[in-house]
Amino acid sequence: MKIKLGIIGYGGMGKWHAENAPRAGVEIAAVCDINQVRQQEAVDGGHKTYKSAEELLKDQNVNTVILTVPNHLHKEMCIKAARAGKNVITEKPAAMTVAELDEMEAACREAGVFFTAHQNRRWDRDMLTVKKAYDEGLLGSIFTIESKLHSGNGYMHEWHIYKKYGGGMIYDWGVHLIDQILFMMPGVKVKSIYADVQNVLHEEVDDYFKILMKMENGIAVHIELSTYILEYQPRWLVGGDKGTMIVKNFACDGNIYRTGKMLEKLPPQITETEAGPTRQFAPVPPGGIVTEPLPVIQTDWVDFYRNVDDVLNNRAETKIKIPEVRRVLSVMEAVRKSAETGEAILFE
């Protein structure tokens, strides 16, 4: 069985799937959008084009749909597609709430169709570089993992600035950043969540968040995003008792840092620095800290669609399971609750 994909919503991400999914052998069978300009764009792109999801779902040539509509429509479209017998891939966040997701999953189970979410950032090279350090103990025992995303672009765009469409950065990127951490540490419980969420430039939706998650394995995870921190801090900082890893950006500039003269006790002299007496925070002697290159990771996002193809042909299990998607949404709900109350949420 070949994936014959119907794209529901021909905005930015709809177009992106139309261009990129064929790399995995996916056939773009049809496209729909309620907006006339986008309908014309789809026609111009050579796609079979419908004016509504309802029409597209009647197309017997379509066996799978990708939902690239605003977030508040995922539930409705998923249930309609399932009832029309289509397998469903939804853009992230899969749903606005855990409760919505449960309804969607029930509809797909009832219809006997496959259901997954496009958590494409499990294939990001920067995250996989950190995951390798975690899996292989490259930094010894890790005490902190910081995942940060800063932008100087300020404002969000289109429907993302409105609450009723599921806008805001927790929905847009928080879902990725949380998913990456839970994916990195399979089977590790989240003990406690504390979050600060703010609207810095936007009236309705969040555009800054800092989330601390204490994990069962002792690691304190720090997830942070801002659309308006203008000197970007490293995408990842990982601290272990045998070194520090910095991954500066998506392109994976960065290094592993280790102590050269490994961890000798300091002489008892006080060093005068620019700001008064300190031994601990005096400069390390020359050569005291050495760098190594980051490990090089091969990754290909298109494996997402290859996996969907394998699942539909009974060759593999899905890499993005609905219980995982549900857990991420649960964390997101805890984040909002913590931000509102000032309390930590004891989680799992």
Q: Cβ closer to a second copy: 62 or 211?
A: 211
For 58, how many CA atoms within 13 A lie in the half-sphere containing its CB?
6
Query: Which residues are CB-neighbours of 170 under 8 A, at least 6 positions away?
Result: 197, 206, 209, 332, 335, 336
Q: Cβ closer to a second copy: 191 or 326?
A: 191
Distance CA 218, CA 156 (A): 35
Q: Cβ closer to a second copy: 6 or 254?
A: 254
Per-state percent for the chain, helix, strand, coil, to nearest 5: 35, 25, 40
- What count of other Cβ atoms lies within 10 Å of the Cβ of residue 43? 12
- Collapsing DSSP to helix, strand or coil, 113 comes out as coil
Shortest Cβ distance from residue 273 to a second copy (Å)? 5
Query: Which residues are CB-neighbours of 342 under 8 A, at least 6 positions away?
Result: none
**Of 14, 82, 23, nearest in space to 49 by CA:** 14
Q: Cβ closer to a second copy: 136 or 274?
A: 274
Q: Are 224 and 148 in contact (CB under 8 A)?
A: yes
Shortest Cβ distance from residue 94 to a second copy (Å)? 18
Give, to the nearest 10 degrees, the angle between helix 98-111 and helix 322-341: 160
Shortest Cβ distance from residue 111 to a second copy (Å)? 30
Q: Cβ closer to a second copy: 54 or 281?
A: 281
Q: Cβ closer to a second copy: 261 or 315?
A: 261
Shortest Cβ distance from residue 281 to a second copy (Å)? 5
Q: Are 156 and 170 in contact (CB under 8 A)?
A: no
Shortest Cβ distance from residue 175 to a second copy (Å)? 13
Shortest Cβ distance from residue 87 to a second copy (Å)? 22
User: For residues 209-230, b (16+ Cβ closer than 10 Å) or e, as one string?
Assistant: bbbbbbbeeebebbbbbbbebe
Distance CA 194, CA 192 (A): 7
Shortest Cβ distance from residue 279 to a second copy (Å)? 6
Q: Cβ closer to a second copy: 60 or 153?
A: 153
**Of 143, 151, 144, 149, nearest in space to 126 by CA:** 149
Shortest Cβ distance from residue 269 to a second copy (Å)? 8
Q: Cβ closer to a second copy: 25 or 218?
A: 218
